[in-house]
Structure 1
Amino acid sequence: MSSMNNNLKDSEHLHISWTITKLLSFFFLLISISYLFYSLGFVTNSYDCEQKKPYLFPTTTHLSDTPAPISPPKDTLKKPFEKTNISHIVFGIGASSMLWNHRKEYIKLWWRPNETRGNVWLDQEVKIEGGDEHLVLPTLRISGDTSRFKYKHPRGNRSGIRISRIVSETVRLGMENVRWFVMGDDDTFFVTENLVKVLQKYDHNQFYYIGAPSESHMQNLFFSYNMAFGGGGFAISYPLAVALERMQDRCIQRYPALYGSDDRIHACMSEIGVPLTKEVGFHQFDVYGNVFGLLAAHPIAPLVSLHHLDHIQPIFPNTSHIEALERLKEPMKVDSYGLMQQSICYDKKRAWTISVSWGYAVQIFRGILFARDMEVPARTFLNWFRRPEYTSYPFNTRPFNRNVCQKPFVFYLTQTTFDEVLHETLTEYTRNQPNPECPWKMADPTQIKSIKVHKKPDPHMWDKSPRRNCCKVQQITEEGTMVIHVRECGEYEVIEK
């Protein structure tokens, strides 16, 4: 009997133990499944967060300590694959009320009403002329008060603080559909189509600070080779501009001894940790005199801007600065990508070297000159300290020949037309000044009175790796006229005699 009772008790104990074990297993299984679903949900939510919030848009503090929320550009989420166009760019133009009546004429030359967006930031109000002038200029705004900021540079002007804050003040306007903020001065001339083409290369969702250093070696040493000179213009991507706005007022206080606006921007970029992305088509023009040598041997890059227009001679002879730029606008309309691009070819029969700076000038040289020499700018200009010394430039230059037989025959642009049927541009160039007589016993370019250049626009010119165009001199069919064809080089074509 007792043995039977013991067996029954053992059986009951086993049954209870088995039941408890199943309950515990079910409990742990339930906890594991719940944790698994929770983890998957957490990961999914985190991934969605990362995908849907490409920017950080902090609340910022103004000089008045009033919070100003900044909204993201709406096109970021709606049109992620749309190419950057002129509507995505907002210009900030630094201007002086003292020079406004003169400098506004430069802005009118490149500003495109109803297409370009931006503001001119002045130190104080200016008189607005009657009529429709306000329709052909950017919106005029007065910069915020900067009297609270220290300024200690002995030879500078504290307006540099005001101008350095233009990007931040523009961000605070809360404009929509913005990808890039572009800074410039009131004496800066922009080629807007080429600016757009340059910015299309870069992801506007990332931090980018794009521009170029100075043409003066000493200026770059005084400031920095890694600083974008503001007069030549520079571009800041939207998220970087937001980051700059968040910290700039504190940053400015740390640099009271700096000279101007662009070195203050550079100092803040250094604190954010963003280097300068160099684009050589932005031209500060820290030079004096005739910039023909620089433009006739322009780098293989889109021409984006020209600065210091009052410091240099008009780019076309016997014209005013405004008239010269008006003439340049004609080739800009038909082929802005090809503007100032140099082609080098030879008239083998006459042993002449030809250099075409499309839309600007054509040069004829006696003799055969190598391409590596022709692509070097001739020193037709003085450096920032008004000296002709060749060591003052951060790039190679060559002397402008004094030998009368080696001086180029220069033909400047006079007319631009576009053939709709052939889809081809025709630019004509004439010589303004006679060349001195040369005793060399060889063909004399004096017989050439005008040059006609045929060229088809290439809309994909800057979508490919950089390469100089080729040109070919045609047989002269009209007395006194040379005909040249400029075109894309063949795959294995070289520039040789």
Structure 2
Amino acid sequence: MKQLQKDYSSSDSNNIILSLPKLVFCLLLCLFLSLSLTSFSFKSLSTPSLPPPNNHPSVTTHITLPDPAPQPQPDPTQLRHVVFGIGAAANKWARRKEFIKLWWVPNATRGYVFLDRHVDDPGDPNEHPTLQLKVSEDTSSFGYSYRHGSRSALRMTRIVSEIIRATGSDPGQEEIRWVVMGDDDTVFFPSNLVRVLQKYDHNKMYYIGSNSETHVQNINFAYDMAFGGGGFAISYPLALEIEKMQDSCIQRYTSLYGSDDRIHACLAELGVPLTKEPGFHQFDVHGNLFGLLTAHPVAPLVSLHHLEIVDPIFPYMGRLQALQRLKIPTKLDPESLMQQSICYDSRRNWTISVSWGYAVQIIRGSIPPREMQRPARTFFNWQNRDEPSSFSFNTRPFSKHPCEKPYIYYLFNAMFNNEANVTASEYVMHRMPHPWCWWPIDNPERVHRVQVYKKLTDPHKWDEAPRRDCCRVLQADKKNTVAIDVGECKEGEVMEPLLS
């Protein structure tokens, strides 16, 4: 056994010894092939390729992909792209049409007034072909179960659908981008409305407006609902979708009160939320709008509603006459209308607030901008009460202290100064009693007029982040006059209140 093992071991050793030359040979062969391949690779990289023979010319092909065709950019939205749907009642049309005539631009604005029955009205504004009076379609087949409401809400709800059907054969139908709803006592500012709509893609589904100023109204209806009196805009693609489903949708909401909450319910089914724009004003308030208008949000003024309920916006005038006065600054610079700027007269220790195109306030002492930009409560809530907690925004008292009661100057006139390239507006003191003040501060009562100079609004102002304009007190030529410059804030400019 041991011998066999020994022989076996000896045999293996001999085999290994005999196979060594073969192994060495294989290793050398592999090394040679590797070196050859490496040398060939380097040579291929470093040696330029020889030109092909003359009888086989080289053809180099470059594949160039065509640039994508530029997509045509649509023109910015203009007034011709908007169609209005105004809800009205025949028994109020004789006086309410005067509100529409204030803002309707003949042969430029287009739309329909929907009435509950036919009226004989051969005069303005029916004579303009761009405004048509229509009797609403019959809604007697629709259910309405709200106990204290009016069935007219049904026909007002269907204005969107009826406009779509009415414009289907309109030669200018292809131009329509927006359907804008409002009431017959709503005053629109069309150029500002257009400026707001230009921010949005009319090819998408948009529902644009704002809610009520009073909590109870928002609670009863919805905070995310556009109130119809203040007006709202619906993009044309969305209006088309509403028309397809509106009648069946109305039948599902017989217990709702008005037209705007029915629209809101249908839009909820379509999944389209409200896009809020603070320039639409429902004005579910009573009393004087002065506090609301002089602290207008930093946004274009789009609409005013309930103008037969609130006081005239200028004192000692009828409602229509007061609104007529607003047309003067609206023609000059509509986007600046009601925009507030705040500054301080350090020499006389006054706070000055300019609401361009409407009113100027001069107040003794130094009131911070944080306070001045809050509406002063010159108005009451929808229940005709003075309750600060009733409003869906912060307010402040009209005057906390007898010495802080403002001296008010209302717009008297405005014009464009071609030489200076600025608007010049003049505001005259509103005579009203003031309590006795013991502060050792100049009495603003000596100022009878305020002159405001302002450049026209930058056309790109509302495309940028919103910011209030700044104002600066100028040296006036007359003792009883204050001169103010209003314009974009300069770099580093701050509305810094005076030290008390």
**Normalising to structure 1: TM-score of the pair?**
0.83
Q: Distance in 1 between matches of 2:257 and 2:123?
A: 37
Equivalent residue, structure 1, for 2:283: 285
Give the SS at the match of 1:196. helix
Where structure 1 has 5 or more consecutive residues not aligned to the other structure, the ranges are 1-47, 52-76
- Deviations along 1:282-341, one digit per CA (max 9) or x if unpaired, are 000000010100000000000000000001001000111111111001100000010000
Q: Aligned pair 1:326/2:324, yes or no?
A: yes
Equivalent residue, structure 1, for 2:455: 456
- RMSD between aligned residues: 1.6
Q: Is the 8 A contact 1:216 1:383 kept in 2?
A: yes
Q: Is the 8 A contact 1:108 1:136 kept in 2?
A: no
The residue type paired with residue 150 of structure 2 is: N
Give the CA deviation at 1:132: 7.7
Q: Is the 8 A contact 1:334 1:418 kept in 2?
A: yes
Q: Distance in 2 between matches of 1:201 and 1:138?
A: 26
The residue type paired with residue 451 of structure 1 is: V
Q: Distance in 1 between matches of 2:425 and 2:94?
A: 33
Give the CA deviation at 1:435: 3.7
Equivalent residue, structure 2, for 1:495: 495
Q: Distance in 1 between matches of 2:183 and 2:125?
A: 23
Equivalent residue, structure 1, for 2:469: 469
Give the CA deviation at 1:131: 7.7
Q: Distance in 2 between matches of 1:154 and 1:137?
A: 38
The residue type paired with residue 214 of structure 2 is: S
The residue type paired with residue 311 of structure 1 is: I
Q: Distance in 1 between matches of 2:130 and 2:325?
A: 20
Q: Is the 8 A contact 1:435 1:446 kept in 2?
A: no
- Deviations along 1:434-478, one digit per CA (max 9) or x if unpaired, are 342322221110110000000001222212210000000112321
Give the CA deviation at 1:412: 0.4
Q: Is the 8 A contact 2:97 2:125 kept in 1?
A: no
Q: Is the 8 A contact 1:107 1:137 kept in 2?
A: no
Where structure 2 has 5 or more consecutive residues not aligned to the other structure, the ranges are 1-67
Map 1:244-323 to 2 at 5 A.
244-323=242-321
Equivalent residue, structure 1, for 2:350: 352
Q: Distance in 2 between matches of 1:315 and 1:93?
A: 23
Q: Aligned pair 1:427/2:433, yes or no?
A: no
Equivalent residue, structure 1, for 2:209: 211
Q: Distance in 1 between matches of 2:319 and 2:486?
A: 28
Q: Aligned pair 1:83/2:76, yes or no?
A: yes
Aligned residues: 422
The residue type paired with residue 446 of structure 2 is: Q
- Deviations along 1:39-60, one digit per CA (max 9) or x if unpaired, are xxxxxxxxx9xx9xxxxxxxxx
Give the SS at the match of 2:321. helix
Map 1:151-170 to 2 at 5 A.
151-170=144-163
Relative distance call for 1:301 and 1:132 in structure 2 (3 A) is: closer
Q: Distance in 1 between matches of 2:147 and 2:363?
A: 49
Q: 2:92 aligns with which of 99, 104, 116?
A: 99
Runs of 4+ in structure 1 off by over 3 angstroms are 129-133
Equivalent residue, structure 2, for 1:236: 234
Give the CA deviation at 1:402: 5.8
Equivalent residue, structure 2, for 1:72: none
- Deviations along 1:244-295, one digit per CA (max 9) or x if unpaired, are 0000000000000000000000000000000000000000000001010000
Give the CA deviation at 1:133: 5.8
Q: Distance in 2 between matches of 1:232 and 1:298?
A: 15
The residue type paired with residue 430 of structure 2 is: N
Q: Aligned pair 1:201/2:194, yes or no?
A: no
Q: Distance in 2 between matches of 1:133 and 1:260?
A: 27
Q: Aligned pair 1:112/2:105, yes or no?
A: yes
Equivalent residue, structure 2, for 1:446: 445
Q: Distance in 1 between matches of 2:125 and 2:85?
A: 22
Relative distance call for 1:92 and 1:395 in structure 2 (3 A) is: same
Q: Distance in 1 between matches of 2:348 and 2:80?
A: 50
Q: Distance in 1 between matches of 2:374 and 2:346?
A: 22
The residue type paired with residue 118 of structure 1 is: G
Q: 1:408 aligns with which of 390, 406, 412?
A: 406
Aligned-residue sequence identity (percent) comes to 56
Give the CA deviation at 1:415: 0.4
**Normalising to structure 2: TM-score of the pair?**
0.82
Q: 2:186 aligns with which of 180, 185, 188?
A: 188
- Deviations along 1:151-175, one digit per CA (max 9) or x if unpaired, are 0001110100100100110001114
Equivalent residue, structure 2, for 1:147: 140
